[in-house]
Chain A
């Protein structure tokens, strides 16, 4: 894959990778670092990318494996910050409060779910992947995906009903 193809086909996936990393870490800086690290992996292996059928699903799988590896190692991600990035950090602090609220809302829902249902929730609700793509990413059967999606939504419905009945705030 040429640099030009990489720019047109792979770079636009950065937002999806970020949203997925954010749903796993609930930390904007960590999610941002993960985006860069995943892209470094993709860049190094760009010659093999033309053989991949579904690039979106594949990159999310790479991202998931990368985060799971980091969680196992518990290595803090450190990278140097250049001048352009310092300006970006200052700019993004304005929207931080709104995003923090959103992250908290989603975190409450995700924490309410068991692990497998969380994975399905991230991919289906927060990423918009269909069941077949989720099977590919997680290596589950069609039935496992359907059952876990059903159970996850059932739990979310319970959570929403609880909030309506008891007047809890999300």
Chain B
């Protein structure tokens, strides 16, 4: 190895070489492969690795990209549209909490509420009937009391 390239090599190990100097060193070692076996192997392995090529043609790659691209963008747009709609709905709900329907109408519209109302009406009707029966039952007692009061007042007069 000549003095210039020996100095370059030393500079390389000190990590002080520029990319251009490294290329010069590599070219020298590749042209003089008998100089230092291990060193040449190292540099040629690194250089070969750097030049490794992927066996994927531009057309195959582009076809895949064109297929994937718009689909993904459409999905993203759909997600954004749905998210924006939900936010808008919540926003409107916050601004106008009870916009049109009154509580009574809302309750009446509920089938469970109607069922409960019907059941309650039946119960009240039953209570009412029973109360009427009780009133009829208490009528003789009140008549008896009135008669007793009448007898007592007649006895006082005598």
Contact = CB atoms under 8 A, between A and B. Distances in A.
Interface of A: 3, 7, 11, 14-15, 17-19, 22-23, 31-32, 35-36, 39-40, 43-44, 84-85, 88, 91-92, 99, 102-103, 105-106, 109, 125-128, 130, 146, 149-150, 152-154, 156-157, 160, 163-164, 170
A156 B57 CA distance: 35
A7 B62 contact: yes
Contacts of B64: 36, 39-40
Interface of chain B: mostly helix, strand, loop or mixed: helix
B3 interface: no
A160 B15 contact: no
Nearest to B52: A19
Contacts of B54: 14-15, 17-18, 31-32, 35
The 7 closest A-B pairs by CB, nearest first: A18-B54, A150-B15, A43-B65, A149-B15, A105-B45, A160-B38, A92-B55
Interface in B57-75: 57-58, 60-62, 64-66, 68-69, 72-73
A150 B10 CA distance: 12
Contacts of A126: 46, 49-50
A78 to B, nearest CB: 14
B19 interface: yes
Interface of B: 12-15, 18-19, 37-39, 41-42, 45-46, 48-58, 60-62, 64-66, 68-69, 72-73
Contacts of A36: 56, 61, 64
13 contacts: A14-B56, A17-B54, A35-B61, A44-B68, A84-B57, A99-B52, A106-B46, A109-B45, A153-B13, A154-B13, A157-B13, A160-B42, A170-B42
